[in-house]
């Protein structure tokens, strides 16, 4: 694919943008909502918490000295 340069748009670069004649401008609130944060990893925190809980149980069951040192901190 050929790389584009600013010179390729020299005929239109300084034109005023008048907006679309077929699509009305979207309300500012709706535009903002489009880019608002969302939970891309739904359930991730719960999965991490569950893994931590399971590992804590396993460490306690096997009387892990590393676990004891870490808990005493």
In this prediction, residue 22 carries a pLDDT of: 92
Say how far apart CA 73 and CA 71 lie, in whole Å: 5
> Which residue bears the tokens 């034109």?
15
Q: What is the pLDDT confidence band of residue 17, given thresholds at 50, 70 and 90?
A: confident
User: How does residue 72 score in pLDDT terms, banded at 50, 70 and 90?
Assistant: low
Distance of CA 7 to the CA centre of its chain: 35
pTM of the predicted structure, to 2 decimals: 0.37
pLDDT of residue 68: 61
* Residue the block writes with tokens 């009305």: 24
Please write the tens of the pLDDT for every residue from 22-61. Answer: 998 889 888 887 777 776 778 888 999 999 999 888 888 8
Distance CA 47, CA 58 (A): 17
Cβ pair 24, 32 in contact under 8 A: no
């Amino acid at each position: 694919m050929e790389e584009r340069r600013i010179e390729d748009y020299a005929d239109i670069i300084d034109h005023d943008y008048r907006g679309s004649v077929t699509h009305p401008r979207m309300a500012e609130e709706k535009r903002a909502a489009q880019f608002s944060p969302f939970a891309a990893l739904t359930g991730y925190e719960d999965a991490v918490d569950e893994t931590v809980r399971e590992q804590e149980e396993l460490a306690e069951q096997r009387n892990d000295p590393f676990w004891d040192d870490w808990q005493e901190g």
